[in-house]
Amino acid sequence: MDAIIKLDHLEKTYHSAETPVRAVRAVSLEIARGDFVAIMGTSGSGKSTMMNILGCLDRPTGGTYLLDGVDVSGLSRNEFADVRNRKIGFVFQNFNLLARTSALDNVKLPMLYNHSGSKLSGKAQQDKAMKTLEMVGIGKRWDHTPSQLSGGQQQRVAIARSLINDPVLLLADEPTGNLDTRTSFDILGIFQRLNDQGITVIMVTHENDVANFAKRIIIMRDGKVRSDVQVQQRSIAEVELKKLEAEKDDDDS
């Protein structure tokens, strides 16, 4: 199996509280390239802590984490930033777009922090950002600022931003938590499409409906993996959206 992520006895203990909190306890798992994983679990079970470590925003306090074959625990602060910039795309529950900044500029932002030699020209950056916005279905609103966009639209911009540096891994912490069902399905449809194109997607959610769009569901409890199963009857966004339309028609009649 070609594993993009390989965790071996991963540990994360917070020492900020009076008593240390072991948020992640000896987690060992592999995630294959091209997989679509949903991480579930009750609040406080360690999902976000896990995502932060996977996303190189935080360092484990024990164990090893191989990302794309590289042991990231030994990386410097700058190298960490570069990994986030080039290998990983983040999508947050609350979108985390820069306020008073146009959708296009938000999407271009990760390209500005690309410290690798291969930089696109200003014009090429503009074109790529525009294309990515179009791909997530929000090309027409490229000049809107976040406050002029709905939640679903903002999340599309955030997804476009996460994709701009062609990451191998897309991390989404409760990406549909603030969205209504229909919009959630739209967003999940985008994830499925990206996954079909080969991007590995890891998504945290506490809704079974949402988790069912993934290929694999990992359930955490008290910092440990309690269950790890393949999804049997996977939801497909287009189908689910059609069902929603039908229900809506029923309600109307």
Partner 1 sequence: MKFRVIIFTAISALFRNKMRTLLTALGLIIGVAAVIVSVGMGNGAKAQVMAQIASMGDNVILIFAGSVNRGGMTSGAGGAGTLTADDAMALERDVPALELVSPGATGGSRVAAGNQNWSTKIYGASPEYFDIRRWTFTQGGPFTDRDVKTSAKVCVIGNTVATQLFGEPELSLGQTIRIKKVPFTVIGLLGVKGADARGQDQDDTVVMPYTSAMKRVMGTKTLSIINVSAVHGANIPVVVQQITDVLNQRHHIGGDRDADFKVLSQEEIAQMATATSKIMGLLLTIVASVSLVIGGIGIMNIMLVSVTERTREIGIRMAIGARGSDILLQFFIEAITLSCLGGLTGIAVGLGSANLVSNFAGMPVLITSGPILLAFGVSALVGVTFGFYPAIKASSLDPIEALRYE
Q: Which residues bind partner 1 (CB under 8 A)?
A: 52, 55, 57-58, 77-78, 81-82, 84-86, 90, 92, 96-100, 109-110, 112-115, 161-162, 165
Q: Which helix (H) or strand (E) holds 34?
A: none
| Bridge partner list, 10 | 27
Which of partner 1, Mg ion, ligand ADP, none does 245 bind, CB closer than 5 to 8 A by kind?
Answer: none
Least Å distance, CB 90 to partner 1, is: 5
All residues at 6 or more sequence positions from 66 whose CB lies less than 8 Å from its CB, including other chains: 3, 5, 6, 7, 8, 72
16 binds ligand ADP (CB under 6 A): yes
47 binds ligand ADP (CB under 6 A): yes
Least Å distance, CB 208 to partner 1, is: 27
151 binds ligand ADP (CB under 6 A): no
| Bridge partner list, 224 | 221
Least Å distance, CB 49 to ligand ADP, is: 3
Query: What tokens appear for 91 in the block?
Result: 């999508």
On whether the CB atoms of residues 10 and 60 are closer than 8 A, the answer is yes
21 binds ligand ADP (CB under 6 A): yes
Least Å distance, CB 123 to partner 1, is: 13
Which of Mg ion, ligand ADP, partner 1, none does 46 bind, CB closer than 5 to 8 A by kind?
Answer: ligand ADP
Least Å distance, CB 218 to ligand ADP, is: 12
Measured CA to CA, the distance from residue 232 to residue 92 in angstroms comes to: 27
Which of ligand ADP, partner 1, Mg ion, none does 161 bind, CB closer than 5 to 8 A by kind?
Answer: partner 1
Measured CA to CA, the distance from residue 80 to residue 76 in angstroms comes to: 6
With CB under 5 A as the contact rule, the residue among 48, 61, 64, 93 that binds Mg ion is: 48
On whether the CB atoms of residues 243 and 182 are closer than 8 A, the answer is no
Query: What tokens appear for 4 in the block?
Result: 């993009």
Which of ligand ADP, Mg ion, partner 1, none does 41 bind, CB closer than 5 to 8 A by kind?
Answer: ligand ADP
43 binds ligand ADP (CB under 6 A): yes
- CB under 8 A, 24+ apart: contacts of 66-70: 66/3, 66/5, 66/6, 66/7, 66/8, 67/4, 67/5, 67/169, 68/4, 68/168
- Contact residues toward ligand ADP (CB under 6 A) are 14, 16-17, 21, 23, 41, 43-49
